[in-house]
Amino acid sequence: MNRIAFALPFAAAVLAASFAFAAPTPLGTFKNWSAYETGEGDGKVCYALSRPTSTEPSKIRRDPAFILINDWPARHAKAEPEIVPGFQYRDGSNVTAQLGGDTVTLFTKNDGGQGGAWVEAQSDEERLVNAMKTAPEAVVTGTSKRGTVVKDTYSLAGFADALDKIQAVCGP
């Protein structure tokens, strides 16, 4: 089974629980990335997501992990990166995303039993998204609440096309 297809029900549940979304409408699959639209009017959101192609340590217990890029037209938010690790992060910890020679630091927050990581400064968001368009992979490293350092590697093959699709559908 395609890794993205397996992840879709979980991703939809995570997003629905987090943002009270309706069922997502697929916009397409672009190599290792899938694009979706959900909601309407002020509640319309588009997002692209992918699952890790590898994880270290390989045998940790957790829910499925994702990297997401969200467009929220009503919030005037475009290309917001988010890490969904499938576990809670250690309180007060940071996450790093390494793309070639560039590293971006994200802050973490645990809410409702789930963890998440976001970029604080818009300039870093733009830097991360631009690097994702050209780098072959992103290596995301964070520390779980239990103290396990987890390194997820995401293929960025298809990312630029998935981003173009969500921005065409949720554009200005």
Q: What is the pLDDT of residue 144?
A: 96
Q: Where are the domains of the chain?
A: 3-169
Q: Is the pLDDT of residue 5 over 50?
A: no
Total Cβ atoms within 10 A of residue 156: 22
Whether the predicted pLDDT of 168 surpasses 70: yes
Q: How many C-beta atoms surround the C-beta of residue 130 within 10 A?
A: 13
pLDDT averaged over every residue in the chain = 89
Residues 94 and 108: beta-carbon distance below 8 Å: yes
Q: Report whether pLDDT(156) > 50.
A: yes
Neighbours of 54 (CB within 10 A): 12
Q: What is the CATH number of domain 3-169?
A: 2.60.40.1880
Per-residue pLDDT tens digits for 52-90:
999 999 989 999 999 999 999 999 999 999 999 999 999
Among 128, 83, 86, CA closest to 107 = 83
pLDDT number for residue 22: 72
